[in-house]
């Protein structure tokens, strides 16, 4: 039996899509979850869920990260789990991509996890235990046209995961990565039928994933039974990465 009670998890991008599924799944299994989003309005989506404590934070800003840390410490003496899920995309072909589009995506998707991991890691090292899980993407390994900024940020998370796992393993802290494929969130609702059909053609299971497919894997990685798994990337993509 997995034991999740008396654990505190910090989940970024927790108000919708994959992040909301992660926060809800962890909370429903007895964890205290600090759910992070960028606006008070978006936090309304998780505000009434049992065991979730909402907090508004801009993870690409170091001062906001410091405020978040102080908030977390007010609510828990131990920080057991960090899920770096928050991410944005600002798609464009490289010749048309604005510098701001490049910087903004890297700031949120890669710099944000760096800032947050660095500040929470001190407590994990002190307690000699912890779980860090980074949400990357199949685009981080395969690339995707029109997403050089997004792919670069998600590829960076893959390398970040491996490097950090080597640094903190001796402290009983595991660091792993999940690379989702095409998941049914609002990010794909605007895709044309032609694009969706092309994606389905490339997926051996012939269906899109659900946010819960990701959250269930994270639940396992948070468990004591996953204590010997670190530095790994798990592709939850219906086999899309096999092509």
Spell out the per-residue pLDDT of the chain, length 243, in tens.
456 778 999 999 999 999 999 999 999 999 999 999 999 999 999 999 999 999 999 999 999 999 999 999 999 988 999 999 999 999 999 999 999 999 999 999 999 999 999 999 999 999 999 999 999 999 999 988 999 999 999 999 999 999 999 999 999 999 999 999 999 988 777 778 888 899 899 999 999 999 999 999 999 999 999 999 999 999 999 999 997
Q: Angle, nearest 10°, between helix axes 17-28 and 211-221?
A: 50
What is the residue extent of each domain of the chain?
8-242
Nearest-angstrom CA–CA distance, 209 and 185: 9
d(CA 70, CA 133): 21
Residue ranges of the alpha helices (H) in 16-76?
17-28, 40-43, 62-75
Q: What backbone torsions phi and psi does residue 234 show, to the nearest 5 degrees?
A: -105, 120
Q: Tell me, what's the pLDDT at 195?
A: 85
Which amino acids are annotated catalytic? 150
Residue 26: phi and psi, rounded to 5, are: -65, -40
Task: Give pLDDT, residue 239.
Answer: 95
Contact 55, 34 (CB under 8 A): yes
Burial call 87-120: b when 16+ CB within 10 Å, e when fewer: bbbbeeeeeebeeebbebbbbbbbbbbbbbbebb
CATH architecture of 8-242: 3-Layer(aba) Sandwich (3.40)
The values of phi and psi at residue 17, to 5°, are 55, -135
Rounded Cα–Cα distance for residues 217 and 22 (Å):
9
Q: Transcribe 174-204 into DSSP letters.
A: EEEEEEE-SBSSTTTTTS-HHHHHHHHHH-T
pLDDT of residue 1: 46
The CA-CA-CA angle for residues 84, 67, 116, to 5°, reads: 25
Write down the pLDDT at residue 196: 87
CB 236 within 8 A of CB 22: no
What is the model's pLDDT at position 3? 67
Give 75: exposed, middle or buried? Use CB within 10 Å, 0-12, 13-18, 19+.
exposed
**pTM (2 d.p.):** 0.95
Cα separation of the two ends of the chain: 36
């Amino acid at each position: 039996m997995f034991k999740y009670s008396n654990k505190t998890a910090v989940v970024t991008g927790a108000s919708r899509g994959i992040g909301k599924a992660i926060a809800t799944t962890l909370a429903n299994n007895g964890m205290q979850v600090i759910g992070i989003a960028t606006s008070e309005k978006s936090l309304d989506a998780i505000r009434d869920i049992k065991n979730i404590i909402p907090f508004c934070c801009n993870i690409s800003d170091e001062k906001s990260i410091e405020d978040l840390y102080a908030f977390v410490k007010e609510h828990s003496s131990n920080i057991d789990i960090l899920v770096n899920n928050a991410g944005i995309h600002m798609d464009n072909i490289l010749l048309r991509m604005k510098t701001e589009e490049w910087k903004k995506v890297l700031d949120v998707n890669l710099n944000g996890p760096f800032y947050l991991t660095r500040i929470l890691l001190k407590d994990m090292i002190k307690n000699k235990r912890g779980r860090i899980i980074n949400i990357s993407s199949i685009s981080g390994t395969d690339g995707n046209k029109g997403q050089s900024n997004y792919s670069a940020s998600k590829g960076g998370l893959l390398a970040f995961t491996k490097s950090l796992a080597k640094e903190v393993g001796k402290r009983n802290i595991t660091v792993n990565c999940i690379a989702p494929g095409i998941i049914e969130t609002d990010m794909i609702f605007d895709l044309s039928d032609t694009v969706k059909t092309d994606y389905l053609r490339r997926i051996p299971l012939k269906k899109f994933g659900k946010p819960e497919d990701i959250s269930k894997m994270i639940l396992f990685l948070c468990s004591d039974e996953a204590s010997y798994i670190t530095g790994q990337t798990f592709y939850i993509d219906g086999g899309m990465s096999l092509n």
